[in-house]
């Protein structure tokens, strides 16, 4: 970050602010996209993030990396919108398949599709409910594709801390998902097996 540009921007220089924020436009867009899941909302919240950063530059005290502070502003803008609408975070789930969550991909209109959609919504709720210190590194590394080192630089913590927090987040998600998945996995096959046994016991002829 350019300290001179930051000072100028704080003094109301719009060109300095543009120079300061242009390198972070991609970061802001990715954050908004991963929290909201659609282009229109991500674009709106991206613009609101820029306005909020401009209006609150004085509140940045250098206690963390400037990029990390901007990240938090963008995340808060998205959370404000979601709370206002009463919606869930639309976190893209594809990268989470590697974390042990592999929802089925049924044909449209089937019962399995409704179950899959509900499982997806539940996972989004669980990610949204993670503690901030776990949610941010998880989203950065598992959804945004940042390396642990890049996430560490943004969050102002060590790479080891990022890895630890991501691992705790993964463990927490798996623990919370396990009961529902276990129940769903037992009901279907169990019912089929019982039906099969009933058929075997039924007198023939």
May I ask the CATH architecture of the domain 1-90?
A: Orthogonal Bundle (1.10)
Please, what is the Cα angle at 182 between 179 and 184, to 5 degrees? 110
Q: Residue ranges of the chain with pLDDT lower than 50? A: 88-90, 93, 97, 99, 101-114, 186-205
The domain limits of the chain are 1-90, 93-205
> What is the topology classification, in CATH, of domain 93-205?
Arc Repressor Mutant, subunit A (1.10.10)
Cα–Cα distances (Å) from 70 to 64, 159, 182, in that order, read 10, 20, 40
How many CB atoms are located within 10 Å of the residue 121 CB? Answer: 13
Which residues, other chains included, contact 82 with Cβ-Cβ below 8 Å and sequence gap of 6+?
35, 36, 88, 89, 128
CA 90 – CA 34 distance, rounded (Å): 7
Query: What pLDDT, on a 0 to 100 scale, did the predictor assign at position 116?
Result: 56
Residue 188, SS3 per DSSP = helix
Which tokens belong to 14? Answer: 């719009």
Asked whether 131 and 171 are in contact (CB, 8 A), the reply is no
Of 96, 145, 146, the closest CA to residue 119 belongs to 96
Query: What pLDDT, on a 0 to 100 scale, did the predictor assign at position 184?
Result: 52
Query: What pLDDT, on a 0 to 100 scale, did the predictor assign at position 46?
Result: 94
Query: What pLDDT, on a 0 to 100 scale, did the predictor assign at position 131?
Result: 87
Query: What pLDDT, on a 0 to 100 scale, did the predictor assign at position 182?
Result: 55
């Amino acid at each position: 970050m350019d300290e001179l540009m930051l000072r100028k921007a704080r003094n109301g220089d719009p060109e300095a602010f543009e120079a300061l924020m242009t390198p972070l436009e991609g970061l802001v867009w990715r954050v908004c996209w991963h929290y909201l899941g659609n282009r229109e909302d991500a674009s709106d919240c991206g613009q609101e993030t820029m306005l909020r950063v401009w209006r609150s530059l004085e509140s940045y005290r250098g206690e963390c990396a400037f990029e990390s502070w901007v990240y938090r502003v963008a995340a808060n803008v998205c959370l404000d919108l979601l709370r206002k609408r009463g919606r869930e975070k639309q976190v893209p789930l594809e990268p989470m398949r590697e974390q042990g969550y592999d929802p089925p991909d049924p044909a449209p209109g089937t019962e399995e599709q409704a179950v899959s959609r509900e499982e997806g919504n539940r996972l989004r709720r669980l990610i949204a409910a993670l503690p901030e210190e776990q949610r941010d590194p998880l989203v950065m590394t598992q959804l945004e594709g940042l390396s642990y080192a890049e996430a560490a630089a943004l969050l102002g913590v060590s790479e080891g801390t990022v890895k630890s927090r991501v691992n705790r987040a993964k463990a927490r998600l798996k623990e919370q998902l396990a009961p529902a998945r276990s129940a769903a996995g037992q009901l279907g096959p169990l019912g089929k097996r019982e039906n099969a046994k009933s058929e075997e016991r039924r007198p023939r002829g």
